[in-house]
């Protein structure tokens, strides 16, 4: 990762504390472990569900309920998480979330029945929902503009790593059918994140918006070049003074409505293209088509590898190429891949058809990883006012989890009623509609401070071309 002069790995003399680029990068990695937890706990159900189904004699509806319980909790987590993060601070909120993660994961792993498992997954979802809102916000507020895109995108990269870890653990334990251990492994990264958070600073923007200027300056002294500190404090202070406190009604008013809608559409698009129909249910769908459990999980492992590998290019180059090329180009490929997946499902899954299905799934997942997978977190961490960023971003993040919930509760039922081809074509149509909206309104925000983005969007009154 490129560093400007003065941002080399350094430590404050005599203290052993990291400063500059080392501190920002380290804090971003630790915070992004929340994405790893998110990815692991949402992905592990794909590997564990066939065995949970056998253990608790679950029917099709209950399989969907067990999966969706986490997502229902995530919706609640996002709704409460914005206000909690804006009131208590980003760091304290994330610390509390790691505790809830660990307890809910253990509760899921030892569940004696489906009811206990569902309740535990609801609480796990609450932790995931709060984390998915606060982690990108915290990183965006701590990072300098020149590296903000790639550092925020670490969250999505860790999500993909978590999903891959879940698939690998599931594959390794598939022969023994040890679904409890599959779930329980998620406690380890929660503990690691909790320990790492102890040494992290609070967001300087949150500190300044709550009148703690001395503490904010102390964080900026450790994370910026000396000649940047006072200018950034003045910029944040002016933005806070201009905005005051904004209500939800005001966020939905004419001044901000356009940009709230962009955050909502970016988040919604990441779900209505059916990505979690694939992440959660590919082993189940393939097993229904005659695959063995281990072979079906093996396909998920391959998807997980592609997911990680194709998140990396966007992670490395999104601050150079910009947000729009990655997000819009990737979404176009997603739509085409969904059409192709629907065509493949018109034929029996055997021989060459299986090979074609795997190929188009890989194309789909690679395009998603470097576009909509990143878009939801990056867009919603950048385009809202500093003093209500957690509150405003919750509109987009709650849309993500709500649509995730809808997809998870309906995909198996819809496939049974309409057939897999029709379902994936519906996802393609919805993706095309979202692509058209984002092409018209998605702003380009590379190399701009959060205050510059805020000023341009709130004076724009809806003309997206000025923000590109």
pLDDT digit of tens for each residue in the chain (468 aa)? 344 334 333 343 333 455 567 888 888 999 999 989 988 987 888 778 888 988 999 887 898 889 889 988 988 998 888 788 888 999 999 999 999 999 999 999 999 999 999 999 999 999 999 998 899 889 988 888 778 888 888 888 898 899 889 888 988 887 887 899 999 999 999 999 999 999 889 999 889 888 898 998 898 888 888 888 888 888 888 777 765 566 777 777 777 777 888 889 998 999 999 987 877 667 666 776 666 667 777 777 888 888 899 988 888 888 888 889 999 999 999 999 999 999 998 988 777 887 888 899 899 999 998 899 887 778 877 777 665 666 677 788 888 888 888 888 888 889 889 998 999 999 999 999 999 999 998 888 887 777 777 677 665 544 444 444
What is the distance, to the nearest Å, from the Cα of residue 219 to the centroid of all Cα atoms in its chain? 26
First to last CA, the chain: 25
Q: What is the pLDDT of residue 349?
A: 73
Contact 319, 149 (CB under 8 A): yes
H runs (alpha helix) in 419-467: 420-441, 450-460
Q: What is the pLDDT of residue 463?
A: 45
88 Cβ contact list (under 8 Å, min separation 6): none
Rounded-to-integer distance, Cα 310 and Cα 306, Å: 6
Q: What is the pLDDT of residue 10?
A: 39
Q: What is the pLDDT of residue 244?
A: 57
Q: What is the pTM of this model?
A: 0.75
Rounded-to-integer distance, Cα 466 and Cα 444, Å: 9
Rounded-to-integer distance, Cα 437 and Cα 443, Å: 12
Identify the three-state secondary structure at position 228: helix
Q: What is the pLDDT of residue 424?
A: 94
Q: Give helix 90-109 / helix 187-197 axis angle, nearest 10°.
A: 160
297 Cβ contact list (under 8 Å, min separation 6): 46, 47, 167, 170, 171, 174, 283
Q: What is the pLDDT of residue 390?
A: 62
> Hey, which residues does 19 pair with through a beta bridge?
10
For residue 18, the surrounding DSSP H or E stretch is strand 18-19
Q: What is the pLDDT of residue 289?
A: 63
Q: Look at residues 309, 269, 56 and name the one whose alpha carbon lies nearest to residue 177.
A: 56
Rounded-to-integer distance, Cα 387 and Cα 121, Å: 32
């Amino acid at each position: 990762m490129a560093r400007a002069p003065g941002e080399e790995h350094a430590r404050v003399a005599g203290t052993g504390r990291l400063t500059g680029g080392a501190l920002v990068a380290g804090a971003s990695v630790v915070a992004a472990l929340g994405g790893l937890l998110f990815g692991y706990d949402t992905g592990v159900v794909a590997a564990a569900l066939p065995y949970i189904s056998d253990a608790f004699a679950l029917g099709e509806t209950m399989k969907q309920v067990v999966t969706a319980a986490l997502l229902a909790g995530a919706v609640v987590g996002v709704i409460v998480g914005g206000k909690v993060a804006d009131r208590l601070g980003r760091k304290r909120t994330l610390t509390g979330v790691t505790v809830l993660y660990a307890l809910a994961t253990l509760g899921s792993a030892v569940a004696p029945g489906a009811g206990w498992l569902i309740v535990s997954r609801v609480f796990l979802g609450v932790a995931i929902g709060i984390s998915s809102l606060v982690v990108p916000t915290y990183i965006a507020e701590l990072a300098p503009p020149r590296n903000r895109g790639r550092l925020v995108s670490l969250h999505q990269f860790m999500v993909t790593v978590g999903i891959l870890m879940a698939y690998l653990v599931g594959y390794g334990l598939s022969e023994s059918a040890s679904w409890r251990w599959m779930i329980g492994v998620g406690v380890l990264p929660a503990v690691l994140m909790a320990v790492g958070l102890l040494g992290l600073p609070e967001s300087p923007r949150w500190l300044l918006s709550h009148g703690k200027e001395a503490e904010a300056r102390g964080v900026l002294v450790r994370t910026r070049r000396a000649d940047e500190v006072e200018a950034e404090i003045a910029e944040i202070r002016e933005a806070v003074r201009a905005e005051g406190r904004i209500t939800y009604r005001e966020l939905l008013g004419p001044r901000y409505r356009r940009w709230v809608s962009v955050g909502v559409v970016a988040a919604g698009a990441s779900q209505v293209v059916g990505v979690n129909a694939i992440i959660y249910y590919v082993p189940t769908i393939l097993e229904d088509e005659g695959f063995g459990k281990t072979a079906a999980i093996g396909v998920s492992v391959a998807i997980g590898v592609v997911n990680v590998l194709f998140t990396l290019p966007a992670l490395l180059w999104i601050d150079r190429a910009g947000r729009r090329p990655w997000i819009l180009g990737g979404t176009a490929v997603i739509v085409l891949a969904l059409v192709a997946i629907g065509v493949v499902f018109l034929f029996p899954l055997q021989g060459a058809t299986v090979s074609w299905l795997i190929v188009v799934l890989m194309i789909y997942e690679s395009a998603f990883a470097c576009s909509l997978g990143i878009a939801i977190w990056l867009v919603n961490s950048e385009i809202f006012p500093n003093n209500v960023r957690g509150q405003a971003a919750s509109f987009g993040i709650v849309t993500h989890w709500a649509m995730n919930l809808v997809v998870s509760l309906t995909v198996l039922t819809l496939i049974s009623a309409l057939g897999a081809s029709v379902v994936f074509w519906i996802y393609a149509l919805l993706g095309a509609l979202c692509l058209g909206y984002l092409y018209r309104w998605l702003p380009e925000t590379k190399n701009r401070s959060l205050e510059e983005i805020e000023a341009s969007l709130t004076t724009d009154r809806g003309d997206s071309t000025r923000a590109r």
